[in-house]
A and B are shown apart, each in its own frame.
Chain A
Amino acid sequence: MMHIALVGNPNTGKTSLFNQLTGTYEYVGNWSGVTVEKKVGVLRSKKAKMIDLPGVYSLHPLSRDERVVTQFLLTESFDKILNIVDASQLERNLLLTVQLLEFGKPLAIALNMVDVAERRGIFIDQTKLAEALRVPVVPVIARTGKGCDEVERTLLEKVAEQTELFTLFYGEAMERAIERFIASWGTEEQFPVRWLAIQFYEGNSYVRDYVAEKWPEATWRSLYEQAEKEVQHAEQMSLAQFIYEKRRSFVKEVIQQVVQRTEIGQVTLTDRIDAVVTNKYIGIPLFLLAMYILFQLTFDWLGAPLSDLLDAFFAGPLTDSVTALLEAIGASEFIRALVVDGVIAGVGGVLVFVPQIFILFFFISFLEDSGYMARVALVMDRLMEAVGLNGKAFIPLIIGFGCNVPGVMAARTIEQPRERLVTTLLTPLMSCSARLPVYALFVGAFFAAHQAIVVLSLYVLGISLALILAKLFSLTILKEETSVFVVELPPYRMPQWQALWRSTWDKGKGFVKKAGTFIFGGSVAIWLLSYVGPHGVNVNMDDSFLAMIGGILAPLLAPLGFGTWQAGAALLTGFLAKEVVVSTMNIIYHVPDVESLQGLMATHFTPLSAFSFMVFVLLYVPCLATVATIYKETGSRKWTMFSIGYALVLAYIVSFVIYQVGGLFGF
């Protein structure tokens, strides 16, 4: 099957176009760096595969997600390129197009956001653009899908297999250097060696590594230095700058031919929103207010009533009808106990929180899709700079509120390796949606009057600790690296309902799926452990294997206020996924619904020890999936172990302090 690579600048609607063309849906956002890994989909006509790559400004990578593109071009086999171009930012988009044309693969351009450009008074003559670059150009509106059929037809039919190689003349000195490189290279490549030479001279770090694998350092260094000297002499410019300028003057010429501008003096909506949102004085308070509203909606105003309805359904009609059904088919007492006390209590106890989690994901999707996320990076940069990171590190942290796994992955867009590492290590401190069921259970039992404030305090605690640790880490492991911050602020746009729902579902379905697999299996295992003991089956739960295992931890946890085997067992199982803590508690305390569990817990916890327990759950270890992602992202066993180790120590210390100091004040 034919493979088509989708390449373009960040935030040009690449993923939207990918979704339209392939009929699948990937995660879409309005900030640079939504796609950090390549993704593959099949075209609607099933005639070709499409590969969605992270957005890049140039093939010369600065951050790790950008390396993915250069690596893809150099090492993977594919047939055609679809280059998506933002019509409202033609100049910088075409700078990338030139590099792609030099790469020599058959290419088509999808010209996106023509409507945005026209509103700004930029009119592009597509026929002339196609002539100037000698490739097909198709106008599209990726968000609505307009023009996508035409793109597909063009890709499959009009893009010739063999095109005459696009050659930009770089001036005599540079051309001599390119020829020297090609002559010494010798070997055949899947791509033009001329492209390799140009990228090498431009200082592309990935290409340099590629060249260095073949040549000894002395060879490539002398080639590079000779070129640098000759170009400097002839043009009074550094090599990289000269190559950039040459491309730019070509692009400017093209733009001169194809673009018509009319002055439109009107103030755009984005300008008006930014005047408020990024206002010097109210920018930060506004962000905090937005967060506060988000939490109120999730917990108090919308989420809680919906959860209660669901809980009533699980505890009442569902349990009753399942029990009746099992009786009717004559199931044994064991099976009945397993299904009702194990599966329904365990899985149902977690599913009750689906409404809250979906509401949270919905608002996070809204923030991403609207373009506000990039402003958050801007508004929070000063604070992040103070702790040695930059504003962009705030985006993974906010995404981490939904789920730590994509949060850790979003850290890839940070340019400096150490800043990226610290952000990766700290993202698990963000209170993800899976921890919500635990909080909801406890705040409902002990802090009914102040639910939102108590939960908010846990989120704030997570962020505060992350900032303090960032400062600590930046003084130790990341010293000697200066922090860098340049962020693109895209125009605002009203998210489309369909796209919002899709991305909410996309994020939330993982939670539902987990309930069906992990939590289902975990519930059965935990129930069995509680049902079986050293002295036989159907034992008193205090004599079960589960009590024995939890009992080992209990003395260690006593100084934190929850030294019971039940808490120990629940925390142990919580490593699988944090919401399993709730499943385990439901099974252990053997109750039909959340309400009666909360009543029962009042005898095992005090408000203070409940708070201490929630803090411990917030901090103690990243869940299994997050640990796996951290390992994948850092590629280091040492840092992965560190992420678990520091979290455990931190959780113990903070819970200890809260319980002991709180005790002194008589709580």
Chain B
Amino acid sequence: MVAMTQLRVGERAKIVDLSQVSDLVKRRLLDMGVTEGAEICLKCTMPLGGPFMIENCGQCVGIRRHEAMNIQVKPL
């Protein structure tokens, strides 16, 4: 189990733990179907500590790096 920030671009992983993410962000991720057990793919990252773009069931979502750091995933 690693933080999402450890993934390489293009790598797929399963979300294991969202409990460290702030409530508001967690709610929004839930709304978009990014939940524990969901399979995601890291699409790209922005430079200088910028946001991450992840894909889940064909839906792309942008989140900040420090939120991604709090998301625990299991690479597939």
Residues of B within 8 A of A488 (CB): 32, 59-62
Contacts A58-B31, A283-B46, A382-B48 given; does A489 touch B61 at CB 8 Å: yes
| Interface assignment of A484: CB less than 8 Å from any CB of chain B | yes
| Interface assignment of B1: CB less than 8 Å from any CB of chain A | no
State whether A381 touches B32 (Cβ < 8 A). no
Q: A87-95, A512-520, A575-583: which lies at the B interface?
A: A87-95
**In the bound complex, what is the Cα–Cα distance between A248 and B36 (angstroms)?**
12
Residues of B within 8 A of A415 (CB): 24, 28
State whether B63 touches A486 (Cβ < 8 A). yes
Q: What are 5 contact pairs spanning A and B, CB under 8 A? A: A62-B24, A89-B58, A91-B57, A382-B50, A486-B61
Write the chain A residue with the least CB distance to B28.
A486
**In the bound complex, what is the Cα–Cα distance between A284 and B46 (angstroms)?**
9
Contacts A279-B44, A378-B46, A381-B50 given; does A489 touch B28 at CB 8 Å: no
State whether B31 touches A57 (Cβ < 8 A). yes
Bitwise, A66-100 to B at CB < 8 A (1) or not (0) is 00000000000000000000001101100000000
Bitwise, B44-74 to A at CB < 8 A (1) or not (0) is 1111111101000111111110010000000
State whether A120 touches B51 (Cβ < 8 A). no
B residues near A (Cβ < 8 Å) are 22, 24-25, 27-33, 35, 43-51, 53, 57-64, 67
Write the chain A residue with the least CB distance to B24.
A484
Taking the nearest CB of chain A, how far is it from the CB of B26, in angstroms?
9
Taking the nearest CB of chain A, how far is it from the CB of B2, in angstroms?
20
The 3 closest A-B pairs by CB, nearest first: A57-B31, A382-B50, A489-B60
State whether B61 touches A487 (Cβ < 8 A). yes
Residues of B within 8 A of A92 (CB): 31-33, 59
B49 partner, pick from A57, A120, A382, A482, beta carbons under 8 A: A382
State whether A62 touches B62 (Cβ < 8 A). no
**In the bound complex, what is the Cα–Cα distance between A60 and B62 (angstroms)?**
21
Taking the nearest CB of chain A, how far is it from the CB of B59, in angstroms?
6
Residues of B within 8 A of A377 (CB): 62
**In the bound complex, what is the Cα–Cα distance between A103 and B33 (angstroms)?**
22
A391 partner, pick from B48, B51, B58, B61, beta carbons under 8 A: B51
Write the chain B residue with the least CB distance to A277.
B44
Interface positions, chain A 28-79, Cβ under 8 Å from B, are 57-58, 60, 62
**In the bound complex, what is the Cα–Cα distance between A382 and B44 (angstroms)?**
14
Taking the nearest CB of chain B, how far is it from the CB of A379, in angstroms?
7
**In the bound complex, what is the Cα–Cα distance between A304 and B38 (angstroms)?**
53
Write the chain B residue with the least CB distance to A56.
B31
Contacts A485-B64, A489-B53 given; does A280 touch B46 at CB 8 Å: yes
**In the bound complex, what is the Cα–Cα distance between A484 and B53 (angstroms)?**
15
Residues of B within 8 A of A487 (CB): 61-62
Taking the nearest CB of chain B, how far is it from the CB of A120, in angstroms?
6
Q: Which of B31, B35, B45 has the most CB of A within 10 A?
A: B31
Q: Which of B24, B49, B51, B59 has the most CB of A within 10 A?
A: B51
State whether B46 touches A484 (Cβ < 8 A). no
